[in-house]
Amino acid sequence: MTTGFGAAGMLTPLVIGDVLGALDSVGVPIPQLLQMADNIAFIALAAIGLTIIFGMMGVINLAHGEFIMMGAYITTLSVNVASIPLPVAMLLGALGTAVFGAIVERTIVRRLYGRLLDSMIVTFGLGLILTQGTRIIFGNSLQSIGTPFGNVPGYTYSGYRVLLLFAAIAVLGAVYLVFTRTEFGVQARATIQDPETARAMGVDTDRMYTITFAIGSGLAGLTGALYAPSATIVPGMGQSFLVESFVTVVTGGSSVLLGTALAGGILGTINAIFSNLYGNFIGQIALLITAIIVIRLLPDGLTGLAATIREKIGERQ
């Protein structure tokens, strides 16, 4: 099948193959490196949408996995049914989920700000409805798209999965720019810190909440869209992202870029090492134990640690 990514999509795995060949020649264990890159990408992408909705807005969205599933379904159906090129289908997956997220915020979540338990129950219910609704409408599974690009030349590892690490870095960078370099981003952060004062400064806080929730949802959809070519498309697929995403957000803390990137890097590496040595089950256990230790020692997560270090440096200066 054509990937829809053009010549760049064909050349990139070849370039990666060359880079890996060079690393291999100096003794870097390539299979472990690829596994680590894959794990870091998976954890960062799984968490990024939730970091915005949970980390910034304080809403525990237990339907986060189903938002990822929605992005994957829209992407897969766009390719399989409407023959839309994969990159465009991925964009539709992200946008469709963002629009759905905006509707959910306006109709449901808006009534639940400051009511943590209520929001958990309601979004858990929403997740069940989405899973079962998808099962009723589309059946137990969809025909998968097929992973583009094939293997990295010289290795039995998917070139597309390696590229997801670069996608994760790009997504984190884009989110950072949106929330720190745009007027919307600054107003959104102000709203989340002190909604009453933000309103008194002329910020339409209702609009800010809707857009922020939609961005978080859209990023969840984008994660689903990016994994659609390499995952089994079933209604319960979102569950496989849920544990990693919550563990990453709690470990990373509230900072979208710093927290998610640090937590993604640390947890992804630990998960890769233990999975490689003792299998996936032990890898997951290692992930959870790491999260417990971090939360015990750093209640505000890695973001809190970074803030403390920054303050100490500031005091010295």
By the criterion CB under 8 A, which residues form the site for other proteins? Answer: 183, 186-187, 189-190, 193-194, 196-205, 311, 314
DSSP states of 44-107 as a string? Answer: HHHHHHHIIIIIIT----TTHHHHHHHHHHHHHHHHHTT---HHHHHHHHHHHHHHHHHHHHHH
Name the residue among 165, 170, 136, 137 with its Cα closest to residue 152. Answer: 165
To other proteins, the closest distance from the beta carbon of 170 in angstroms equals 24
Joined together, the tokens standing for residue 177 give 């720019």
Q: Which is nearer to other proteins, 190 or 273 (CB)?
A: 190
The Cα–Cα gap between 104 and 294 comes to 32
Reduce the DSSP state of residue 264 to 3 states and report it.
Answer: helix
The Cα–Cα gap between 43 and 249 comes to 10
To other proteins, the closest distance from the beta carbon of 191 in angstroms equals 9
Joined together, the tokens standing for residue 306 give 């970074």
Collect all residues with Cβ–Cβ distance below 8 Å to 102 and sequence separation of at least 6: 210, 211, 213, 214, 217
To other proteins, the closest distance from the beta carbon of 204 in angstroms equals 5
Q: If you ran DSSP here, which 8-state letter would residue 158 be given?
A: B
How many C-beta neighbours within 10 Å does residue 286 have? 19
The Cα–Cα gap between 163 and 11 comes to 12
To other proteins, the closest distance from the beta carbon of 253 in angstroms equals 12
To other proteins, the closest distance from the beta carbon of 106 in angstroms equals 17
Q: Which is nearer to other proteins, 118 or 194 (CB)?
A: 194
To other proteins, the closest distance from the beta carbon of 196 in angstroms equals 6
